[in-house]
Structure 1
Amino acid sequence: MIYREMCLSDQDAVIALWKAAGVFREWNNPVRDIEKALEGEHSTILIGELDGIVVASIMCGEDGHRGWFYYVSTHPNHRGKGLGKAITAAAEDWLRARGIWKVNLLVRGDNAQAVSFYEGQGYMDTHSVCLQKVIEPV
């Protein structure tokens, strides 16, 4: 798999991947999320390609202290091949290169498969509560 930072020209392929992988949610505007992630130096989206086809992605960002991962996805036809683990490691490297030593991510409470995937990579439940407030409607 070839890893690289996403370009806007990859947008349709990445959104299609998110939908196929089940990480897309109707209430999140993927175009807005992509544009925001790619506009600054503190965030990006990494993609993994096989034969020129986007099969994995991860949105990562940092606030100077912690890194965050979003939209971690592997196409269902390519699961079980280590691609999710590899794209997550690439994002950890992206953070490490910026001096970030800690990463957080959110997993929906009913997604035991994702929890198991991350625990297998050394992530642990911090028993924290995530609170959210939408301050500007989409």
Structure 2
Amino acid sequence: MENIQVRQARLDELPTLLQFEQNLIAAERPLDDTLVSETFNYYDLEKMIHSDEAEVLVATLGDRLIASGHARILEGKHYNSFARYAFLGFMYTEPDMRGRGINKLIIDALVAWAGKKGLDEVRLQVYSDNTPAVAAYEKVGFKKMLTEMRLSTDHP
């Protein structure tokens, strides 16, 4: 593989990270008609970069940021066998860099971070119609558990 490096994101990279987030939202809009049409953010990336309860990573090729991902520590439900877990998100790879195993590099680093935090559960959410993403996550070991379904009250 090329000389792709995975490391913690820096605050001075926030403009690029925010663009990654908008690219991610644009890719997900066709999969979710409940997303508002106005510009919005999924994450408070600046806060997560500063937090001990989150890890924001980037992949680089030379000086270029080519991918991102984050893990946040969340509380398990009272019925879970774990008290806390790592929740992955912000998984984005630039289109011309896809198919090179970069997502796996980031996931492996985030899983290692979760392990160092004493967590043994890692979860994420993916749109079921996003078959390339589902396949990529299954390839690194994630298993489907639950399908969330919706119905609008104005449905005939």
What's the TM-score, normalizing by structure 1?
A: 0.81
Is 1:96 aligned to residue 108 of structure 2?
A: no
Shift of 1:36: 2.8
Separation in 2, partners of 1:23, 1:29: 13
Q: Could you tell me which residue of structure 1 aligns to residue 142 of structure 2?
A: 123
Give matches, 1:14-93, under 5 Å.
Answer: 14-20=17-23, 22=27, 28-29=40-41, 33-63=44-74, 65-93=84-112
Q: Contact 2:22–2:41 at 8 Å: present in 1 too?
A: no
Counterpart residue identity of residue 89, structure 1: D
Helix, strand or coil at the partner of 2:104? helix
Residue ranges of structure 1 left out of the alignment (5+ in a row): 132-138
1:18-65 deviation per Cα after TM superposition (whole angstroms, max 9, x unaligned): 3445368756426x5212312321012101111111101101111362
Counterpart residue identity of residue 37, structure 1: M
Q: Could you tell me which residue of structure 1 aligns to residue 6 of structure 2?
A: 3
| More displaced stretch, 18-27 vs 107-116 | 18-27
Separation in 1, partners of 2:138, 2:71: 19
Identity level (%): 24
What's the TM-score, normalizing by structure 2?
A: 0.73
The structure with the largest alpha-carbon Rg is 2
Shift of 1:84: 0.9
How many pairs does the alignment contain? 130
Separation in 2, partners of 1:11, 1:48: 14
Separation in 2, partners of 1:122, 1:12: 32
Separation in 2, partners of 1:9, 1:39: 13
RMSD: 2.4
Helix, strand or coil at the partner of 1:4? strand
Residue ranges of structure 2 left out of the alignment (5+ in a row): 30-34, 75-82, 151-156
